[in-house]
């Protein structure tokens, strides 16, 4: 007997018929003798409708009131799911965030889970109940409803799995697992059977949109195995697990990702002096803009070029700040490039295998793709290239690193 | 400065535009310097939609889960109302049942309020917030959401007003007050300016559908003045107040009501012995059927006829039980009449004025309406007549007791 947490997204519970499908799967797991906790999102479309209503009232509605409004979406699905399981003669009970003691900090709209009181859930499981918990929501110390931000239901599920020391956290979605790259770009993309938390973190932050990055961080921290799979089929999906698992080192590279959501800024001919970087990045950080890559090239005559990337959505704000700072740091000009893409190859194998970087550069060179910026982590190499080469680069790298499906 | 509780029903908050109208009225009261607590129902239609979804899943959904589902309706309106008030630059905060500490017993679907912790509401009012509370819902001692049953938002409002010792509880609805009789039946019906709790209790239990009877009981118990008025106009409505108010005794009769929802059962020629009534009414009570009027006429030869009324919806069940009991109590037969109506005249003045009953009987006799059954309370006289005479009887009595509008 295992303790299994199953999370179903909005598409999986989009209407009563789909809720019934999910209920059958949940009931099946329960009938096999497992303890089952179900974490649900709002029915697809519901959250957007509520947001639309709120924005009809005012531009920046109060975050506490917005959380109050949005939390109704998950509340509806958990009640309907409990009823559906009852109609199939299974014992089930729904719990809201505060009832499941999902305690968060006070950051309405983007709260962080601080603690989960697992006692009530455990007691309900012990008496053979299927426990259905509203995802995306928690409760702060004053009893206010908080929500966890975009994709928060994944985080709810993994945090609950961690608190219960569940055997596995199954994340059901509308795709059947994690792929070596975006199948829309490369039709030879292959489903990955197993992937490490670290690789998944690099993949999700770089554009694979299946799993919420915070939930993976949580899973890594508490070592909760995640099983990403489709709610529309019975096939096994992708296991996201601890890196120590031995058979994970077979492939050097696990995946290729691309991201077109960044833009590049360059401060030209900045004096190569201590304190310059701080002068540039402090005001940008203060404006809440996340800088991704930063590269500094030394030029001749004590001057340097400083290049970095920011989200495209924040480019105009970042440029405004940069122009103000430019004079101060004596840059000759600030250059902008917004038709760029970041291509990354990711793999645990890089830790032990050399030559991955040079193979990446060679592959791009063979396609006549110019590399504008390079950054690396222990298990990732990323290159900024011109946006128009994105698909070509992804396919070439996917093939070069032996990821193509036969 | 007064402390005012305002309750708005589903029609008053039926869409964003109407919510805005309500917000303007609330803001107006706040701007006059009053402390304002707002209690809201779900947007009209929402609760029925949720009920329809639940009944699509199964016939008798679990009451706890149904409460979980239904409570989302009020949660949506309070959040939208708070945002609307914010957009008008008024300080406002929404509270759910559990956040406002509306404690109830465990009877899901039909819970009774046991206690309201007014501290948080008081503190919020003190710092000049408009406090918006979800009607219809509370929280039991285990933290489950409970709902208060049909018309529960009225009860929420009055209970909150009682806990806060509010100066008045304004119940906003789609009619502009309590009328001397149903204006659809008698176009000379008049709006009543002031009415006592007791009269209102008799009126609402007898068919005037404006105020939920439980809320009036609450208001009487804690002496909370209720002001029933329209959310679509600025006119004063009807004050429902303590009977001690001096100017209430001018009219002997305050209103005429009718009720077509009952049916009559008669046990013929029952032996006039102790214990017979118990034999008849115990099994009926056990089946959850509320008996309204009971009349026993002594016949000759130690026999008696026993007549009573039950809700039409429960007639077939009541008849079934009655037939079983009939043999046991040696009744010769059980007669049924379901085309009947109960006509009542209500008035505090009856306590001090004689002749009301005889005037009622005379008036009906003048119209050739036969009286089948009579029952009275301290402030009410009710007659059962044939259903087809309902409208005629109401108009004749309304006129006879000087209630007609000029």
Q: What's the pLDDT tens digit per position in B316-343? A: 999 999 999 988 888 889 999 989 999 9
| Subunit contact A79:B65, Cβ cutoff 8 A | yes
Residues A302, A384 share a domain: yes
- The alpha-carbon gap from A121 to the nearest alpha carbon of chain B, in Å, equals 13
Asked, for residue B19, whether it belongs to a domain, the answer is yes
Task: Give the C-alpha separation, B396 to B398, whole Å.
Answer: 6
Handedness of CA B115, B121, B122, B125 (dihedral sign): negative
- B380: β partners: B346, B377
Residue by residue, DSSP assigns A358-393 as HHHHHHHHHTTPPP-EEEEETTEEEEEEEGGGHHHH
Task: Kindly report, residue by residue over A147-206, the tens digit of the pLDDT.
Answer: 998 779 999 999 999 999 999 999 998 888 999 999 889 999 999 999 999 999 988 766
Please report the pLDDT score of residue A355 as a whole number. Answer: 86
Q: What percent of chain A is helix, strand and coil (3-state, nearest 5)?
A: 40, 25, 35
Task: Kindly report, residue by residue over B214-226, the tens digit of the pLDDT.
Answer: 899 999 999 999 9
Q: Which H/E stretch holds residue A245? A: none
Handedness of CA A282, A287, A291, A295 (dihedral sign): negative
Q: Is the pLDDT of residue A288 over 80?
A: yes
Domain assignment of residue B90, given as a range:
3-174
| Subunit contact A56:B144, Cβ cutoff 8 A | no
The A102-104 sheet, strands edge to edge: A113-116, A102-104, A137-139, A145-147
Average pLDDT over residues A284-309: 85
* Phi and psi angles of residue A268, each rounded to the nearest 5 degrees, phi first: -90, 140
Handedness of CA B147, B149, B150, B155 (dihedral sign): negative
Domain-terminating residue out of A174, A206, A228: A174
| Subunit contact B68:A56, Cβ cutoff 8 A | no
Highest mean pLDDT among A364-378, B32-46, B248-262: B32-46
Least confident segment among A331-335, A363-367, A391-395, A397-401: A331-335
Task: Give the C-alpha separation, B74 to B39, whole Å.
Answer: 9
Question: Which residues of A are less than 8 Å from B58 in CB distance?
Answer: 83-84, 86-87
Task: Give the C-alpha separation, A195 to A242, whole Å.
Answer: 8
Contacts of residue B57, defined as CB under 8 A and 6 or more positions apart, other chains included, come to: A16, A80, A83, A84, A87
| Subunit contact B143:A54, Cβ cutoff 8 A | no
Residues A126, A40 share a domain: yes
Average pLDDT over residues A202-215: 76
Task: Kindly report, residue by residue over B107-116, the tens digit of the pLDDT.
Answer: 999 999 999 9
Q: How would you classify the pairing of strands A294-298 and A303-311? A: antiparallel
Average pLDDT over residues B380-397: 95
Percent of chain B with pLDDT over 70: 97
Q: Encoding tokens for residue B59?
A: 């016939």
Task: Give the C-alpha separation, B42 to B48, whole Å.
Answer: 10
Task: Give the C-alpha separation, A281 to A289, whole Å.
Answer: 10
Nearest residue on chain B to A141, judged by CA atoms?
B99
| Subunit contact B94:A16, Cβ cutoff 8 A | no
pLDDT band at B390 (very low <50, low <70, confident <90, very high): very high
Q: Helix, strand or coil for residue B45?
A: coil
Nearest residue on chain B to A87, judged by CA atoms?
B58
DSSP-assigned letter for residue B403: -
Give the nearest partner residue to B62 out of A54, A69, A82, using CB atoms: A82
Nearest residue on chain B to A23, judged by CA atoms?
B57
Q: Is the pLDDT of residue B250 over 70?
A: no
B349: left (phi over 0), alpha (psi -120 to 50) or beta: alpha
Residues A251, A108 share a domain: no
Contacts of residue B217, defined as CB under 8 A and 6 or more positions apart, other chains included, come to: B201
Q: Encoding tokens for residue B329?
A: 């109590």
Look-up of token digits 């030879």: A188
Q: Is the pLDDT of residue B28 over 60?
A: yes
Contacts of residue A209, defined as CB under 8 A and 6 or more positions apart, other chains included, come to: none
Nearest residue on chain B to A99, judged by CA atoms?
B143
Residue by residue, DSSP assigns A92-136 as EEEE-TTTTTEEE-S-TTS--EEEE--HHHHHHHHTTPEEEEETT
DSSP-assigned letter for residue A354: -
Average pLDDT, chain B: 91
Query: Could you tell me which of B242, B245, B227, B224 has the C-alpha nearest to residue B191?
Result: B227
| Subunit contact A79:B69, Cβ cutoff 8 A | yes
Please report the pLDDT score of residue B274 as a whole number. Answer: 79
For helices B119-126 and B152-164, angle between their N-to-C axes, nearest 10 degrees: 70
Look-up of token digits 């490039």: A337
Chain B: which residues have CB within 8 Å of chain A? 16, 50, 53-54, 56-58, 61-62, 64-66, 68-69, 71-72, 75-76, 78-80, 82-84, 86-87, 93-94, 96, 98-99, 143-145
**Helices vs strands, H then E, count in chain A:** 11, 20
Q: Encoding tokens for residue A119?
A: 């006692």
A118: left (phi over 0), alpha (psi -120 to 50) or beta: alpha
Question: Which residues of A are less than 8 Å from B69 in CB distance?
Answer: 75-76, 79-80, 83
Q: Helix, strand or coil for residue A357?
A: helix
Give the nearest partner residue to B16 out of A50, A53, A68, using CB atoms: A53
Asked, for residue B250, whether it belongs to a domain, the answer is no
Give the nearest partner residue to A80 out of B57, B64, B96, using CB atoms: B57
Please report the pLDDT score of residue A127 as a whole number. Answer: 96
| Subunit contact A75:B54, Cβ cutoff 8 A | no
pLDDT band at A8 (very low <50, low <70, confident <90, very high): very high
Nearest residue on chain A to B89, judged by CA atoms?
A58
Average pLDDT over residues B287-300: 83
* Phi and psi angles of residue A298, each rounded to the nearest 5 degrees, phi first: -75, 135
Task: Give the C-alpha separation, A389 to B316, whole Å.
Answer: 79
- The alpha-carbon gap from B94 to the nearest alpha carbon of chain A, in Å, equals 7
Give the CATH number, domain containing residue B39: 3.40.1160.10
Please report the pLDDT score of residue B16 as a whole number. Answer: 97
Nearest residue on chain B to A57, judged by CA atoms?
B84
Average pLDDT over residues B285-314: 86
Average pLDDT over residues A311-324: 92
Task: Kindly report, residue by residue over B42-66, the tens digit of the pLDDT.
Answer: 999 999 999 999 999 999 999 999 9
Task: Kindly report, residue by residue over A36-74, the tens digit of the pLDDT.
Answer: 999 999 999 999 999 999 999 999 999 999 999 999 999
Query: Could you tell me which of B336, B346, B279, B278 has the C-alpha nearest to residue B309?
Result: B336
Question: Which residues of B are less than 8 Å from A64 in CB distance?
Answer: 93
- The alpha-carbon gap from B230 to the nearest alpha carbon of chain A, in Å, equals 24
B348, B379 contact by CB (below 8 A): yes
Average pLDDT over residues B282-311: 86
Residues A118, A10 share a domain: yes
Please report the pLDDT score of residue B246 as a whole number. Answer: 54
Higher confidence at residue B250 or residue B139?
Answer: B139
Domain-terminating residue out of A174, A202, A219: A174
Q: Is the pLDDT of residue B186 over 90?
A: yes
Please report the pLDDT score of residue B208 as a whole number. Answer: 58
pLDDT band at A245 (very low <50, low <70, confident <90, very high): low
Chain A: which residues have CB within 8 Å of chain B? 16, 50, 53-54, 56-58, 61-62, 64-66, 68-69, 71-72, 75-76, 78-80, 82-84, 86-87, 93-94, 96, 98-99, 143-145
Task: Kindly report, residue by residue over A328-343, the tens digit of the pLDDT.
Answer: 888 889 999 989 999 9
Asked, for residue B69, whether it belongs to a domain, the answer is yes
Q: Is the pLDDT of residue A122 over 90?
A: yes
| Subunit contact B61:A86, Cβ cutoff 8 A | yes
Look-up of token digits 């190499």: A381
| Subunit contact A57:B144, Cβ cutoff 8 A | no
B244: left (phi over 0), alpha (psi -120 to 50) or beta: alpha
Asked, for residue B319, whether it belongs to a domain, the answer is no
Instruction: For chain A, give the number of residues.
Output: 406
Look-up of token digits 């305690």: A103
Contacts of residue B126, defined as CB under 8 A and 6 or more positions apart, other chains included, come to: none
Nearest residue on chain B to A143, judged by CA atoms?
B99
Query: Could you tell me which of B85, B99, B14 has the C-alpha nearest to residue A146?
Result: B99
Asked, for residue B322, whether it belongs to a domain, the answer is no
User: CA triplet B348, B351, B354: central angle to 5 degrees?
Assistant: 115
Q: Is the pLDDT of residue A248 over 60?
A: no
| Subunit contact A71:B75, Cβ cutoff 8 A | yes
Please report the pLDDT score of residue A297 as a whole number. Answer: 77
Residues A387, A250 share a domain: yes
Average pLDDT over residues A105-126: 95
Domain-terminating residue out of A174, A208, A236: A174
- The alpha-carbon gap from A89 to the nearest alpha carbon of chain B, in Å, equals 11
Residue by residue, DSSP assigns A8-66 as E-TTTTSSHHHHHHHHHHHHHHHHTT-EEEEEE-PPTTHHHHHHHHHHHH-SS--HHHH
Question: Which residues of B are less than 8 Å from A58 in CB distance?
Answer: 83-84, 86-87
Total domains, chain A: 2
Please report the pLDDT score of residue B312 as a whole number. Answer: 92
- The alpha-carbon gap from A44 to the nearest alpha carbon of chain B, in Å, equals 16
Give the nearest partner residue to A72 out of B64, B72, B86, using CB atoms: B72
Please report the pLDDT score of residue B252 as a whole number. Answer: 83
Nearest residue on chain A to B142, judged by CA atoms?
A99
Nearest residue on chain B to A65, judged by CA atoms?
B79
Task: Kindly report, residue by residue over A139-149, the tens digit of the pLDDT.
Answer: 999 999 999 98
| Subunit contact B78:A62, Cβ cutoff 8 A | no
Average pLDDT, chain A: 91
Higher confidence at residue A331 or residue B392?
Answer: B392
- The alpha-carbon gap from B235 to the nearest alpha carbon of chain A, in Å, equals 28
Higher confidence at residue A270 or residue A129?
Answer: A129
Please report the pLDDT score of residue B60 as a whole number. Answer: 93
Task: Give the C-alpha separation, B114 to A179, whole Å.
Answer: 56
Asked, for residue A275, whether it belongs to a domain, the answer is yes
| Subunit contact B83:A96, Cβ cutoff 8 A | no
Percent of chain B with pLDDT over 90: 73
| Subunit contact B66:A83, Cβ cutoff 8 A | yes
Helix spans in A43-196 (H): 46-57, 63-87, 119-126, 152-164
Please report the pLDDT score of residue B247 as a whole number. Answer: 57
Question: Which residues of A are less than 8 Å from B144 in CB distance?
Answer: 99
Asked, for residue A142, whether it belongs to a domain, the answer is yes
| Subunit contact A79:B96, Cβ cutoff 8 A | no
Asked, for residue A188, whether it belongs to a domain, the answer is no
A–B interface: beta-carbon pairs under 8 A? 99
Q: Is the pLDDT of residue A23 over 70?
A: yes
């Amino acid at each position: 007997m295992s303790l299994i947490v199953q999370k179903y997204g909005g598409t999986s519970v989009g209407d009563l018929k789909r809720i019934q499908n999910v209920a059958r799967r949940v009931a099946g797991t329960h009938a096999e003798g497992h303890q089952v906790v179900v974490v649900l999102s709002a029915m697809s479309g519901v959250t957007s409708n509520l947001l639309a209503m709120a924005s009809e009232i005012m531009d920046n509605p109060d975050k506490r009131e917005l959380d109050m409004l949005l939390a109704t979406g998950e509340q509806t699905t958990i009640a309907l799911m409990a009823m559906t399981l009852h109609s199939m003669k299974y014992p089930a009970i729904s719990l809201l965030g505060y009832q499941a003691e999902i305690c968060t900090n006070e950051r309405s709209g983007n709260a962080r889970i601080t603690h989960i009181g697992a006692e009530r859930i455990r007691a309900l499981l012990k008496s053979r109940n299927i426990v259905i918990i509203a995802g995306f929501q928690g409760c702060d110390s004053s009893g206010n409803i908080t929500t966890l931000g975009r994709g928060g239901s994944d985080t709810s599920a993994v945090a609950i799995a961690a608190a219960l020391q569940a055997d596995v956290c199954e994340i059901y979605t509308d795709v059947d697992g994690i792929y070596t790259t975006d199948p829309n770009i490369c039709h030879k993309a292959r489903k990955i059977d197993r992937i490490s938390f670290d690789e998944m973190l690099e993949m999700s932050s770089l554009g694979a949109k299946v799993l919420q990055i915070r939930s993976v961080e949580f899973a890594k921290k508490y070592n909760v195995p995640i099983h990403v799979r489709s709610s529309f089929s019975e096939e096994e999906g992708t296991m996201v697990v601890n890196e120590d698992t031995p058979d994970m080192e077979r492939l050097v590279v696990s995946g290729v990702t691309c991201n077109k959501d960044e833009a590049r800024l360059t401060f030209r001919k900045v004096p190569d002096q201590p304190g310059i970087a701080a002068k540039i990045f402090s005001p940008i950080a203060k404006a809440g803009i996340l800088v991704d890559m930063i590269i500094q090239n030394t030029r001749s005559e004590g001057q340097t070029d400083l290049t970095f990337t920011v989200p495209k959505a924040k480019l105009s704000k970042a440029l405004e700040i940069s122009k103000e700072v430019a004079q101060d740091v004596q840059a000759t000009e600030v250059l902008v490039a917004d038709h760029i893409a970041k291509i990354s190859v990711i793999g645990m194998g890089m830790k032990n295998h050399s030559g991955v970087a040079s193979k990446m550069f060679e592959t791009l060179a063979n396609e006549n793709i110019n590399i504008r910026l390079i950054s690396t982590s222990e298990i990732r190499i990323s290159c900024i290239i011109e946006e128009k080469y994105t698909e070509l680069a992804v396919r070439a790298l996917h093939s070069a690193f032996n990821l193509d499906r036969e």
